[in-house]
Structure 1
């Protein structure tokens, strides 16, 4: 792979992912700049948050600028202005997530009359304790055609439904659509919503760079279509002991397909207020599209970080999260990666639902097309990566000796959800051989499917990406069978055993 092609692949944001000609007929017309963009007049918001006719105290209510709490009777008042689009709540623990065919509805669009707007919120209490609950993270469904949409609706969404059903009907689940729900073709948002409805659980949406209005004049108006469909682009909610936050970290720079990873001051100021209501030490799950950080610069020996590949002002987000135990959920890069910031922040960058843009079964780093599954017990979270079409125990792939050309005498293994707490060891003909050696490398199947100007045929610009979760071992000349055993940080053990001869033949 040439350096030019590799640089193109890695540029992500300012160069654009696809390099394809955009059919403007598939995009909505440029959003009209609302007159309120010049209007700072005061709008007084008020209302009540209640369940079964009884007011709920202490519920956070916001206009996206300031945050207030409901009083002892569930009433709130908030002085807003005409730049605010919505009044919305941070759904408190112990309550259902109101939704419309799975799309979470926790907001009211502000339509003031004489400078006032009244919005009441009616919640339903859960009939069970939500201290134990689970959630799904779908990153990058990213559909550009009806063919992509059909694959999403007939494979990805049903796979998710099957997994959910395996937990039993009383298990609490919600989903996060972690951005790039579609690929600039807004008519496919209906297909995304159909997929959500298939799962039977409520989903909260994150805006991605391919969900933005590309004809907007500034970032301020780039989320108008998203807001019409899904509500605010940043907000929070609660379930059990966990506080969830959604942020918009895709900053549109004013021309189609150009953006940077950046969190606006308005969001950061709002987040400080939102978290001021959350006790220090609480587990906070932050959901955004562009990873706050990655190993991309290190792996590819880049001089600078790709501006569209990480969040430029992430240090401020980290500072705000310091008092909490934080998990950051991201997508965008179509690879699996874990990034640690100090002792209190883990970032989970997810492989894509669409894999390498619906060109086959894997992402650029060899991770299968799939999604994250998170199991919550109190303040603790455990997780795994679910490959579409595979059992949830499918957590590694073994390659024959020499599959990685730089390691001609070694067999290789991709352990896609690896982090430093994992243990990856191997056995030769039943004998323990100790830990495998981890090295940064290309996944052999990704090389086979993606490397070169002619493939994959569907999107020829797709190329393999270096990954930190490749492992190597050198079997002896007489070895016949090898078993790889990967133990995750939660002591779950995943094993794959192969005949070296059969393995070689299956990849020949």
Structure 2
């Protein structure tokens, strides 16, 4: 704590009064002064946050700021205020500037106001685009991105942005350019989250594993504002110094910065946190294990939850290649099915969820959402399977309602007669099981497997030739319906 306060105090000292200090082993120095101006159409913007990832300062009345960069800081960035467009380069958000290794550096940030404001806005969450080769990249650029562009158009005149929720590529950094092409096709600015397949696997520490990502996309944790919502992006993939070995963990540096960041957010506000590894899932319970694997959820999530307690919180995550929503106390986590499905090997994720992405609309402090399946209409929210498709549910028609949460209603009709609620159960989606179960399936990535899910539902026993209708009503009252002949 004393060292942190000392470093904060350095920000009050002019660059000229500081002695020339030696570089640290990582190449950073103590004597780096940052200054600049946040402005719009030439006029300075007051009380806008500017940060180096360790401290946050407010701009003065004329929009100017000055801070002494932390020795480990890599970027200076503006905490974008509500009501302004997201600066970007062909869709990649550019709200930051790299920090030089020594001397005084000027970094100005020019912002453009949004006509009509952004109290109402929308955002898209891409979970795990995870392109591994040019064939994957072609699918992303020519199929998924145009599909996203169409979903954006369906939102009308709302300001829209995107979040690439990690694993943008599958360890092939030369494909970052293809990811960028896909973002450009969507026509909206995207913020990026670092995933475990976006890290330098030959690095000796977690800090150094982020270097290529930072060169491409800037800082790995930051925040911004849209309308009444405060958005936070975190890096929860902690590289432990061995290729493909990591844990879900948020460093003290991030938590300390987040503590300062949230001091600027009034209690009761809605905060949206995006990270790659989910903070929690129900997978351990489904697998009847005592706890999740370290790389499956965030080990120190309790510290994050404690910080977020004063707020209404939505967490956006990826990583798992299944779709799951859970809600407890003030937090709801949306663990997204993936754009790549099961690593571009078939038409569903491991839980039977179609390849797709989250679409979120915001009005004031409230969010509404749906899961958008690539190549499907927005009302494609469930799939039915004939009786006998799940041996453990003999003679039952099965429904997979992939964006289900406990506020949904899932009901069924038999030959026109209302039969009440379907019974949820934990199991394997029949299509995912057919496509991915077995040591020779699928051909491209034989390690892909179906996963247990809790968004399956079974009717009572039915007879051949009967007509079954399943109606699923989401928490916002939207009704989705499918039918099948047993």
TM-score range, shorter chain: over 0.9
Q: Does 1:260 align with 2:247?
A: yes
Structure 1 ranges of 4+ moved more than 6 A: none
Alignment of 1:481-492 (within 5 A): 481-492=467-478
Contact 1:428 1:479 in 2 (8 A): no
Measured after TM superposition, the shift of residue 429 of structure 1 is 1.0
Alignment of 1:104-253 (within 5 A): 104-111=93-100, 113=102, 115-168=103-156, 170-253=157-240
Q: Secondary structure at the match of 2:174?
A: helix
Contact 1:36 1:82 in 2 (8 A): no
Q: Distance in 2 between matches of 1:415 and 1:365?
A: 10
Give the aligned partner of residue 324 of structure 1.
311
Change (3 A) 1:46 1:173: same
Measured after TM superposition, the shift of residue 35 of structure 1 is 5.7
Q: Distance in 1 between matches of 2:379 and 2:28?
A: 55
Give the aligned partner of residue 56 of structure 1.
45
Measured after TM superposition, the shift of residue 71 of structure 1 is 1.7
Q: Distance in 2 between matches of 1:284 and 1:221?
A: 29
RMSD over aligned Cα, in angstroms? 1.3
Contact 2:402 2:455 in 1 (8 A): yes
Q: Distance in 2 between matches of 1:245 and 1:373?
A: 18
Measured after TM superposition, the shift of residue 155 of structure 1 is 1.0
Change (3 A) 1:401 1:88: same
Give the aligned partner of residue 12 of structure 1.
none
Alignment of 1:266-281 (within 5 A): 266-281=253-268
Greater RCO, 1 or 2 (C-alpha within 8 Å, sep 6+):
1
Q: Distance in 1 between matches of 2:239 and 2:215?
A: 18
Measured after TM superposition, the shift of residue 318 of structure 1 is 0.3
Q: Does 1:459 align with 2:460?
A: no
Measured after TM superposition, the shift of residue 43 of structure 1 is 1.9
Change (3 A) 1:478 1:457: closer
Q: Does 1:448 align with 2:430?
A: no
Give the aligned partner of residue 10 of structure 2.
none
Q: Does 1:480 align with 2:466?
A: yes
Q: TM-score, normalised by structure 2?
A: 0.94
Q: Distance in 2 between matches of 1:390 and 1:39?
A: 50
Report Cα offsets for 1:11-60 as digits up to 9, x if no partner.
xxxxxxxxxxxxxxxxxxxxxxx966265523222111110111111111
Contact 1:59 1:89 in 2 (8 A): yes
Show structure 1 runs of 5+ residues with no match.
1-33, 501-508
Report Cα offsets for 1:442-465 as digits up to 9, x if no partner.
100011101111111111111110
Show structure 2 runs of 5+ residues with no match.
1-22
Q: Secondary structure at the match of 2:197?
A: helix
Would you say how many aligned residue pairs link Structure 1 and Structure 2?
Answer: 464
Q: Distance in 2 between matches of 1:223 and 1:38?
A: 15
Measured after TM superposition, the shift of residue 116 of structure 1 is 1.9
Q: Secondary structure at the match of 2:266?
A: coil
Q: Distance in 2 between matches of 1:470 and 1:123?
A: 47
Measured after TM superposition, the shift of residue 101 of structure 1 is 0.2
Measured after TM superposition, the shift of residue 171 of structure 1 is 2.1
Q: Does 1:91 align with 2:77?
A: no
Q: TM-score, normalised by structure 1?
A: 0.90
Measured after TM superposition, the shift of residue 301 of structure 1 is 1.3
Q: Distance in 2 between matches of 1:388 and 1:186?
A: 25
Give the aligned partner of residue 347 of structure 1.
333
Measured after TM superposition, the shift of residue 479 of structure 1 is 5.9
Contact 2:386 2:484 in 1 (8 A): no
Give the aligned partner of residue 372 of structure 2.
386
Q: Secondary structure at the match of 2:444?
A: coil
Q: Does 1:310 align with 2:310?
A: no
Give the aligned partner of residue 80 of structure 1.
69
Q: Distance in 1 between matches of 2:426 and 2:115?
A: 48
Contact 2:79 2:222 in 1 (8 A): yes
Report Cα offsets for 1:338-374 as digits up to 9, x if no partner.
12232x1000000010000101110000000000000
Give the aligned partner of residue 415 of structure 1.
401
Q: Distance in 2 between matches of 1:254 and 1:126?
A: 44
Change (3 A) 1:279 1:147: same
Report Cα offsets for 1:54-87 as digits up to 9, x if no partner.
1111111100011111122211121223321111
Q: Distance in 2 between matches of 1:303 and 1:333?
A: 18
Q: Secondary structure at the match of 1:223?
A: helix
Report Cα offsets for 1:152-205 as digits up to 9, x if no partner.
11111111111112223x221000000000000001000000000000000000
Measured after TM superposition, the shift of residue 208 of structure 1 is 0.2
Q: Distance in 2 between matches of 1:472 and 1:455?
A: 27
